[in-house]
Amino acid sequence: MQTPIAAPAATPFAVPASRWDAATAAKLSPAELLLYRSNLLGSDLTVTNFGGGNTSAKLAEVDPLTGDPAEVLWVKGSGGDIGSMKLDGFATLYQDKLLGLEKHYGGPNEDDKMVGYLPHCTFNLNSRAASIDTPLHSLLPFVHIDHVHPDAIIALAASSGGEAATAEIWGGRIGWLPWKRPGYTLGVQLRDYVAANPGIEGVMLAGHGIICWADTAEACHEHTVGLIADAANYLNGKLAGKPAFGGQVVAPNPDRAAMAANLMPRLRGLMTGSRRKLGHWSDHAEALEFTGSAEFERLAALGTSCPDHFLRTKIAPLTLDPARLRDDAYLAERIVAYRDLYAAYYARCKQPNSPAMRDANPVVVLVPGVGCFTFSTDMTTARLAGEFYGNAINVMRGAEAIGDYIALDEQEAFGIEYWLLEEAKLQRMPAPKPMVGRIALVTGGAGGIGAATAARLMREGACVMLADRDAAAAEEVRAGFARQFGKDVVSAIACDVTDEAQVQAAFDACAREFGGLDILVANAGIASSAAIEDTTLELWNRNYDVLAQGYFLTSRAAWPLLKRMKDQGGSSVVFIGSKNAVAAAAGASAYASAKAAANHLARCLALEGAPEGIRVNVVNPDAVIKGSKIWDGDWRKERAGTHGIDPGKELEEHYRNRSMLKRDVLPEDIAEAAYWLASEQSAKSTGNMINVDAGNAQAFVR
């Protein structure tokens, strides 16, 4: 263990406070009160982690068939999140039928079998599946029950000093049950324990969380929040005045953002498997405190404790030496070593009926001074894994303050990860969309064709970085896409493609936010129209700066990221060219010749990119008037002037009639071709041009 260089005070636990509002609660029905309590608890991340925990109430209902009164257990359904759930997120089950299930229970090996009986207890044809925690709620004789996994509670539950601390804090009001994986058996053990300890107000579940109860929804809420606050205050007392994890041996690196941008695409490139990974980086205070601490390597190797944490973060994180991050051979060796470690864990723990081994790449990668990197095939899962590892760090900090941190037993962890019922759920999931796991950067992403292309890629599951000179427009487009596709999959950055530093910064941001790059759509563009004698040097240069040099700068900055994907099927560059790159245009020589330069650049890059698995192709649009901002400006008037027509409706008609197919060309038409060239469907095409112009004989490519 290294000698600490600094001893900053440990990050304290957040202490929750009740947010119960009596006036709001007064208007609610019993079921709505359960929902209100659940949402209050679940939306406070000091109370429970995302998706963790469940709440219940045993309510009086009327049987829809017989009209008789029935006691019905309302309990959070499988897979929901108590913070954001609605009433339809609860499973509803006949309480007497649930109690009657015990006659089918033959002992601890029958937990899986018991899950199969739950649907038979459904009340009122409710299709919401009951979770495996349902027996915990049904077998306890209390009306209102909360079960949550807050960091401060798990810290007690996962420490060698946890049982003693529980007795010290609550003086016997709260009981303690040793670790048992969730299921019917835990429900029976809990019921028997409570029966044997009359008057207790809750039970700590070792390695897991807490379950507690009360007679009313409000009292139950206050009780849960109060117990968490007790635990947090107790731990804060123990942590006060001392550094966490033995003190700091590696200080937060001031260059960590740049280091993250450099590291993520390289790790991602090495994480070969059936699907591409997306990465999330966080340098929140806990990550820097933990990774830079004296106890870091010892604790990281132990893995996480609570099943929620474990399922999200895998058996253990991968740790990297910050001094060797630029060494590709070192990174490759570490990833391979991790996969070997995971395969060995699988081999040690597997049972005859275990599902086949899943992806062996690490989910969590920790670098002292730099932070926590998390990888998954979808962005939300990657981000949540980072949040869960932050929870796990809090747990370790608290657990070590009162004893030794105890991680989940390996065989138990395996049992949860490879649980047969979970495997069945995975098998039923629909195949992912074709672009899931892919990252695209679209220049001019705030414009007509750029935004349409970004939307097309996102519709198939891609993550997109919108890079545009117009920051306000890019932000507006981003916000719209965030509503449509989710906030995790889209980002925007102000970037003028004529500025070398801004271009580099955009690709760095893309690497840092999503983990790398698979697709570049070089699209940012302008249009200008002037007779040769009226073409100023300034106008000439402006066209070449954006359309020729801009395509060059973006391709050059994309290259090192795109190359990293060679072993995973390669990557794709799509240039949005122009009909005028192929067909000569009178009165637009600066624009048309700059577009021709870009199109030839694409062919040169196709040649150079092939050995690296990078394909480069071009879409040539023509007369995309609707939705294009180019056609809002002077270009419209100038082109109308050139053709001697009115710049209003007549212009669209003019272009439609000029086309061979007599059809309008829309941004979505260009997007479709760009999408195809970006996708695996065109895996055998490079150095090509596709004209999307409703037919123009002058632009036929030969």
Ligand X SMILES: NC(=O)c1ccc[n+]([C@@H]2O[C@H](COP(=O)([O-])OP(=O)(O)OC[C@H]3O[C@@H](n4cnc5c(N)ncnc54)[C@H](O)[C@@H]3O)[C@@H](O)[C@H]2O)c1
Q: Binding residues for ligand X, how many (CB under 6 A)?
A: 32
Q: Does 269 bind ligand X (CB under 6 A)?
A: no
Q: How far apart are CA 97 and CA 411, in angstroms?
A: 33
Out of 49, 159, 593, 628, the residue judged to bind ligand X by CB under 6 A? 628
Out of 101, 244, 306, 449, the residue judged to bind ligand X by CB under 6 A? 449
Q: Return the closest-CA partner of residue 389 out of 305, 297, 328.
A: 305
Q: Copy the structure tokens of residue 50.
A: 């995302």
Nearest distance in Å: CB 577, ligand X: 7
Q: How far apart are CA 176 and CA 190, in angstroms?
A: 10
Q: How far apart are CA 359 and CA 436, in angstroms?
A: 16
Q: How far apart are CA 74 and CA 124, in angstroms?
A: 12
Query: Would you say 418 or 631 has its CB closer to ligand X?
Result: 631
Torsion angles phi and psi, residue 446, rounded to 5: -90, -10
The answer to whether the beta carbons of residues 49 and 391 sit under 8 Å apart is: yes
For residue 287, the SS3 value is helix
The answer to whether the beta carbons of residues 130 and 79 sit under 8 Å apart is: no
Partner whose footprint covers residue 469, from ligand X, Zn ion, none (CB < 5 to 8 Å by kind)? ligand X
Stretch near ligand X under the rule CB under 6 A, chosen from 94-102, 413-421, 496-504, 603-611: 496-504
Q: Alpha-carbon dihedral of residues 148, 152, 154, 155, nearest 10 degrees? A: 180
Query: Would you say 209 or 362 has its CB closer to Zn ion?
Result: 209
Q: Does 578 bind ligand X (CB under 6 A)?
A: yes
Nearest distance in Å: CB 443, ligand X: 6
Kind and range of the H or E element at 677?
helix 667-678
For residue 402, the SS3 value is helix
Q: Copy the structure tokens of residue 9.
A: 């005070």
Q: How far apart are CA 309 and CA 341, in angstroms?
A: 19
Nearest distance in Å: CB 478, ligand X: 12
Q: How far apart are CA 360 and CA 343, in angstroms?
A: 7
Q: Does 526 bind ligand X (CB under 6 A)?
A: yes
Stretch near ligand X under the rule CB under 6 A, chosen from 92-100, 220-228, 301-309, 442-450: 442-450
Nearest distance in Å: CB 467, ligand X: 7
Query: Would you say 498 or 571 has its CB closer to ligand X?
Result: 498
Stretch near ligand X under the rule CB under 6 A, chosen from 74-82, 386-394, 402-410, 492-500: 492-500
| 105 φ/ψ sector (left φ>0, alpha ψ -120 to 50, else beta) | beta
Nearest distance in Å: CB 469, ligand X: 4
Stretch near ligand X under the rule CB under 6 A, chosen from 163-171, 391-399, 468-476, 566-574: 468-476
Query: Would you say 360 or 392 has its CB closer to Zn ion?
Result: 392
Query: Would you say 384 or 623 has its CB closer to Zn ion?
Result: 384
Partner whose footprint covers residue 56, from ligand X, Zn ion, none (CB < 5 to 8 Å by kind)? none
For residue 429, the SS3 value is coil
Terminal alpha carbon distance of the chain:
68
Binding site for Zn ion (CB under 5 A): 209
Q: Which of residues 579-608 bind ligand X (CB under 6 A)?
A: none
Stretch near ligand X under the rule CB under 6 A, chosen from 57-65, 104-112, 129-137, 462-470: 462-470
Residue 455 Cα to chain centre, angstroms: 18
Query: Would you say 49 or 620 has its CB closer to ligand X?
Result: 620
Query: Would you say 245 or 551 has its CB closer to ligand X?
Result: 551
Catalytic residue among 342, 346, 544, 591: 591
Query: Would you say 209 or 368 has its CB closer to Zn ion?
Result: 209
Q: Does 677 bind ligand X (CB under 6 A)?
A: no
Out of 44, 359, 417, 468, the residue judged to bind ligand X by CB under 6 A? 468
Q: Return the closest-CA partner of residue 436 out of 465, 467, 417, 464.
A: 464
Query: Would you say 182 or 444 has its CB closer to Zn ion?
Result: 182
Partner whose footprint covers residue 150, from ligand X, Zn ion, none (CB < 5 to 8 Å by kind)? none
Q: How far apart are CA 462 and CA 478, in angstroms?
A: 14
Q: How far apart are CA 247 and CA 3, in angstroms?
A: 8
Angle at 477 between CA 498 and CA 565, to 5 degrees: 65
Q: How far apart are CA 142 and CA 125, in angstroms?
A: 24
Q: Does 497 bind ligand X (CB under 6 A)?
A: yes
Partner whose footprint covers residue 489, from Zn ion, ligand X, none (CB < 5 to 8 Å by kind)? none
Q: Does 450 bind ligand X (CB under 6 A)?
A: yes
Nearest distance in Å: CB 534, ligand X: 20
Partner whose footprint covers residue 443, from Zn ion, ligand X, none (CB < 5 to 8 Å by kind)? ligand X
Q: Does 622 bind ligand X (CB under 6 A)?
A: yes
Q: Alpha-carbon dihedral of residues 288, 294, 299, 300, nearest 10 degrees? A: 50
Nearest residue to ligand X on Cβ basis? 447
The answer to whether the beta carbons of residues 491 and 475 sit under 8 Å apart is: no
Partner whose footprint covers residue 523, from Zn ion, ligand X, none (CB < 5 to 8 Å by kind)? ligand X
Out of 191, 358, 459, 629, the residue judged to bind ligand X by CB under 6 A? 629
Out of 52, 447, 516, 609, the residue judged to bind ligand X by CB under 6 A? 447
Q: Return the closest-CA partner of residue 616 out of 662, 657, 568, 559.
A: 559
Out of 91, 152, 366, 630, the residue judged to bind ligand X by CB under 6 A? 630
| Residue 56, strand partner residues | 75, 145
For residue 598, the SS3 value is helix
Q: How far apart are CA 308 and CA 306, in angstroms?
A: 5
Q: Return the closest-CA partner of residue 595 out of 617, 574, 579.
A: 579
DSSP 8-state class, residue 546: I
| Whether 591 is catalytic | yes
Out of 493, 621, 669, 696, the residue judged to bind ligand X by CB under 6 A? 621
Nearest distance in Å: CB 647, ligand X: 14
DSSP 8-state class, residue 177: E
Nearest distance in Å: CB 649, ligand X: 16
Catalytic residues: 591
Residues that bind ligand X (CB under 6 A): 443-444, 446-450, 468-470, 473, 495-498, 523-527, 546, 550, 576, 578, 621-624, 628-631
